[in-house]
Amino acid sequence: MLLRWTHLRWIDVASLLVAAAFIAPALAQQAAPDAAAPATTPAKKLPKPKPAAAAKPAAGAPAAAVPVAGGAKPTLLSQYGEWGAYTAAPGGKKVCFAIAKPSSSETVPSDRPRNPPYMFISTRPAEKVSNEVSIVIGYPFKPNSEATAEVGTTSFALSTQQDGAWVKNATEEAHMVEAMRAGQNAIVKGMSAKGTRSTDTFSLRGLAQALDRVDQECK
């Protein structure tokens, strides 16, 4: 129970960091065209905004420009293929993580709404945690269900709760990370509380380099 609570607590914190790292900028960029249309007419009736208020972050703005709860601002150390290496200090405790979005996603049925999924591998020196694999799936998992992560020919069982998943057998976690370092893809499969089945394929291109950078930053 303590292990599960710790995972959930970290996933909650990581969700804020990830939102600041790349989800929030991406959503803002997607929403920009829709937001601009209704503002066209009333803009003439409003006072001209100050330059600082009118400015919008560039599409490639660094993650550190987006604040998150507790004053933590994730800093992109470097991008390696599909994986970004980040560092942050939520609550004053330094964490480092490698993170990626799926290269492809599929749901059955295909029309079910879903938040962006992502996988991250974190190192948290203050908690003596190294290379912990976590997945946020983008919907609440079916209660008491398991998900799976397939790397090559090996399948790893994942425990689930709410929208988070992690390696069920902690002794297999190091094996999974090593398999991912050498593999091409990790395929995560799960089921939502409403019966939606999802398959997310994460490219592992750049993961080994991202993890090496994380290890270097959070020794």
* pLDDT (tens digit per residue) in 154-182: 999 999 989 999 999 989 999 999 999 99
The parts of the chain modelled with pLDDT lower than 50 are: 1-5, 23-71
Phi/psi-derived region of residue 117, left when phi > 0, alpha when psi is between -120 and 50, beta in every other case: beta
- Which among 127, 18, 132 is positioned nearest to 69, based on CA atoms? 18
133 near 167, Cβ under 8 Å?
yes
Of the CATH numbers 3.30.200.20, 2.60.40.1880, 1.20.1440.230, 1.20.1250.20, which one belongs to the domain with range 2-217? Answer: 2.60.40.1880
- Which among 124, 123, 129, 100 is positioned nearest to 188, based on CA atoms? 100
Q: Give the span between the Cα atoms of 56 and 65, in whole angstroms.
A: 11
Q: Give the span between the Cα atoms of 73 and 70, in whole angstroms.
A: 9
Supply the pLDDT for residue 111: 86
Supply the pLDDT for residue 7: 57
3-class secondary structure per residue, 87-139: EECHHHCCEEEEEECCCEEEEECCCCCCCCCEEEEEEEHHHCEEEEEEEECCC
Supply the pLDDT for residue 91: 82
Token couple for 173:
């976690």
* pLDDT (tens digit per residue) in 47-78: 444 433 333 333 333 333 333 444 467 899 99
Query: What is this structure's pTM?
Result: 0.74
Supply the pLDDT for residue 133: 94
180 near 204, Cβ under 8 Å?
yes
